[in-house]
Each structure stands twice: as structure tokens, then as C-alpha cells.
Amino acid sequence: MSWKKQFETLLGSPNASSQDIDNSFRLKERHLPRFLYRYRPASEWAIQNLANETVWFGKASALNDEHEFAEQLDFERLTQLLVSKNIKELTDYLTQGQEVPAEILSKAEASSDPIQEISAYLLREQEGWSEDRIIKAQKVLRDIYFDHMNKIIDSKIKDTQEKMKVCSFSESPDIHLMWSHYAGSYKGFCVEYDMSRLERGDLRRRLLFPVLYTDEVFDSTEHLIQSMTNNGSFNPLYALVIGLRKSEAWKYEKEWRMVMNLGDSFPEQNYSMNCQSAVYLGVNIEADKRKTILKISESQELKVMEARPIRSKYGVEFIPLNE
């Protein structure tokens, strides 16, 4: 098992203990790269972040992947649990107090769809409906129900995307697609952060997590069941694991991200990241932006690397300017 999978298992289990969570953080700390990188366009606010040694914590909803913090739920399992726990109240409501045979109730409790069993009995015995008519009606109601539940989960995801604040980094400064997508097609720059300058207990280190690339959306069903059964072992950090999962299509980014899980109490804002150690300049950076960044780098004693095309193959190399 890879260390990232082990990390996700420890942190994201529905039955995770405080010891599991502590172990997941220790495991993550052991694999935190010494250097992380942030690709930036040469915009006024990005250059201001460099000058002020800050990074931007923004809403997950502003990121370029619509599946940020996506999750899935097994509505059939959840419905069965809810209904089974409240079978008497449900039966009384549907029958308006009329007697239902014990064998029907037992069948309903054992069924994956208790409502369907009880409604079929009522329509058959009290309304005289045919089996074919009952099946068609139940299909229509089932489709309406699941459409409604899907809208609920979509709303939950959007709400989470608004509340979670994220700042993204990469393990490498020389990923071509990153320069293209996030640094203005080499017109921008890339900032290097030396994580060894932050002490082990520093909050910024604790907020940094590896992105877990997979094509399976996180299944939150067991976590909600734990919450509903109220057995005291609910893992409140599962939402963090949801926010660390991304499609395999993004694997090239080699992303680590800082995630602030404080909801509306932590609005979008600049956040101190005073461990800048180097700046990488894009091939196509404009002269005035280059001059400004060089001046900032000199004042902060940052190493400066400049990208230059490699003529013998596709790619660039970085040449030190101040060593």
C-alpha cells in the first residue's frame, strides 16, 4: 500500500480513532517535501503576494475543477436505515392507523426498500390495484425520490465548496502544463517555499495535505450512517479527505494543498507564508514585471532562476541569475 493510500485510510475511515488521525498526520509529515511551488501569473495581486510573503486562501468553488469536494451517497442504504429505525411511525402515517399484518411489517423491515413493501400492500389490499399498476407507480415515485436526493447532495457539495478555503502548491517547478495553465503560458513566475523553515508544529505544515488522485468519488455513506446511529465514533475529518481527492486527469500537477476547514468563520484572505526561498521566471515574462520581481527577490534575498528553451528537445531549463 502506498503511503498516500495509507494516509487516506487512517484519516478517512468512518471508525477513525484519535490515534489513527494522529498517525495519519505523522505519516503525512514524514513525506512532506522540503520544497513546494506555487505557479503564478504576473498579475499585480500575485506580485503583491510575493512582496508581502503571503498566499491566497480562496473558496474551493473558485477552483477550475467542478468536482472539488465531490462525494457520493448510497441513498438506498440510508433510506433503509432511516425507515427501519422508524418503521412503526412510517406505517402509522401511511395506513392512518389501520392494521398491517405482522408478516408484512417483518418483510418491510428486512427489505432494501421498506416504503415500497408497505405501499405495495396498501395499494393491493385496500385500493385493489394490479401488480403491473403498482410496479409502474413505484418506479415513478422512485425516480422522483432519487432525483430529489441527488439535488440535495449537489446542494451539499456546492455549500461545502463555498465554505472550504484552499491554497494549492506543486512538488515541482518545471511542469510544462502548470506553466501553461497557471503562469500565463510562461509569462508568469513560480515561487519556491522551503518547508524546512517552518517548525514541525507550525499550523501551516499541519494544514498541508497531499492530493489523492483517483477516478472514484468519495463515498460518504458510512460516515453518515455513523452520524445517524450516534455511536460516538463519527469522524468529523472525512470532509477533509473529500477535498483531497481529485481525478487521475490532474495527476500531472503533483499537488499539495492547504485546506482551511473553518467554514464562514474563515473568509477568503491572504495568509502569511514567510518561507519563500526562490523565484522561477517564465520564458515569456514581460520586461517590467521581470524587473519588479527581481527587485523584490533582491530585497528578500531569494534565489532567482530563469527559464530558457532547450533547443535540442521540447522543454526548458532554469538558469540561476544570482548565484
**pLDDT average, residue stretch 244-257:** 96
CA dist., res. 150 & res. 147, Å (int): 5
Query: For residues 42 and 280, is the Cβ–Cβ distance under 8 A?
Result: no
Nearest by Cα to 177 from 168, 186, 166: 186
b/e code 175-192 from CB counts within 10 Å (16+ = b):
beebbeebbbebbbbbbb
**pLDDT average, residue stretch 161-177:** 95
In the block, residue with C-alpha cell 474563515:
266
Residue 71's pLDDT band (cuts 50, 70, 90): very high
Parallel, antiparallel, or unpaired for β 71-72 and 218-219?
parallel
- Range with the poorest average pLDDT among 99-108, 281-290, 296-305: 99-108
**pLDDT average, residue stretch 203-213:** 96
CA dist., res. 218 & res. 243, Å (int): 9
Q: Taking all residues of the chain, what is their mean pLDDT, rounded to a whole number? A: 88
Q: Exposure of 193 by Cβ count < 10 A (0-12 exposed, 13-18 middle, 19+ buried)?
A: buried
192 three-class SS: strand
Grid cell at residue 265:
468563520
Residue 239's pLDDT band (cuts 50, 70, 90): confident
Parallel, antiparallel, or unpaired for β 276-281 and 303-309?
parallel
pLDDT value at 142 more than 70: yes
pLDDT value at 313 more than 80: yes
* pTM assigned to the model: 0.85
Grid cell at residue 30:
514524514
CA dist., res. 105 & res. 84, Å (int): 10
Q: Which residues contact 83 (CB under 8 A, 6 or more apart)?
A: 90, 108, 114, 115
Partners of 3 in beta bridges: none
Q: Where are the domains of the chain?
A: 3-69+164-320, 75-158
Question: 83-124, pLDDT tens digit by residue?
Answer: 666 666 666 666 666 677 778 777 777 776 777 777 787 778
pLDDT reported for residue 79: 76
CA dist., res. 254 & res. 76, Å (int): 36
User: No. of H helices and E strands in the chain?
Assistant: 13, 14
Parallel, antiparallel, or unpaired for β 165-170 and 255-260?
antiparallel
The rounded percent of the chain whose pLDDT value lies above 70 is 93
Query: For residues 171 and 33, is the Cβ–Cβ distance under 8 A?
Result: yes
